[in-house]
Structure 1
């Protein structure tokens, strides 16, 4: 008798227990991907189906620490689904803190113009554009691979007409002011120990920022004032222990920053209002 999805999930979760903090969830996401359906649909009605072919190969990839998002090719963020792959940072739920701060500031009316510095696969920019249908935006990234994936995501989400995405060096050469500036820069100290899932697969250029993790904030702080329109807001992601240092960098440029915490209570963003 063919192995059922239910049995394969039990076996897969056990196999992944040594290499994943969420082995059962990982097994479920991979099985749903192999079936070509959403995880919820699988759990509600397909557990007694035969296990899909190729599932063991997916389990084996995850056992080697490859991120689930790279294996299935996407990650959900805010209200959107983003295609991801090697060469771009995988969106994290913690980064939704920046969108939450923007929603608290602008409400339903929203900003009109949005800038995302370090756009990656389009994470923050496209989430904001999906939130506010009347807005348009610009996303900039130093990575050709990231901007290519971001453009593809904008197309798939029906947002391409409102999202310009280009290669660039933070805000250098941008001569426009924006109502909302979003940024999730690299902020990990060079040489810091990271989980194998991250260190072995995600791009170091999107993670590391010098010996203290602050190199990119030093470049961004002098640029923010010239990028913000009157009444605008900048939301910049930080590491959990970097709030004081980043606030000091902004203060040196005459900008008052406030800390916003994520759902786990960790410092997650510095918010600057024009």
Structure 2
């Protein structure tokens, strides 16, 4: 199986990849659902909505800063790094991710679509202004990934959970509203331009990888099927079976950090 897909990749001109939580789980990033007693009494659905933000922006930002603090400790793994290298091997390559952790960026990926946004960016829900990571860290120093990485748990609790006040939250310089995190909340639509770019690339892919995604969250879950429908060879890299598995031409029942470095190595020999 490995030899066959390698031969196909060596002749491929357009390669697409969709990644999900599985690739970042290998970097130690939790799913944030019930794994930390600090937030067990809160349902993520009650915090990751515009209504929640309007009602209590301080509480929502404290929760997101806690998530950002956890993510800041994580580093790209061999799966992320291999995909960053793979984009240089094909005339056309696009990495589409459902993850908001920014690890693909840290790994060096350039041809990247973050369908659900980036947790270290900011977005004003009133005027629509998006603040990229570096710009947002200047507007809201607590959102700086490197600063959070250096914080101990004790310092984080003191500064963010016990010390942060609503008047210290980031304010949009355009409209004066409080800026929220740059992720897609429940009830919000995915960015149209990101979705259109992902769908358009899937349609012209020669090979399409689904890596570490459960293949159940729409509309992302339909992207590999669009690629397949337009003639792409479909490859799944996932330790577990998913609803996508029956449609795949090649399936690797292992993690991204186990499979992708081997493929990369063989392609660059």
Q: Comparing both chains, which one has the higher relative contact order based on Cα–Cα distances under 8 Å and sequence gaps of 6 or more?
A: 2
Q: TM-score range by the shorter chain?
A: 0.3 to 0.5
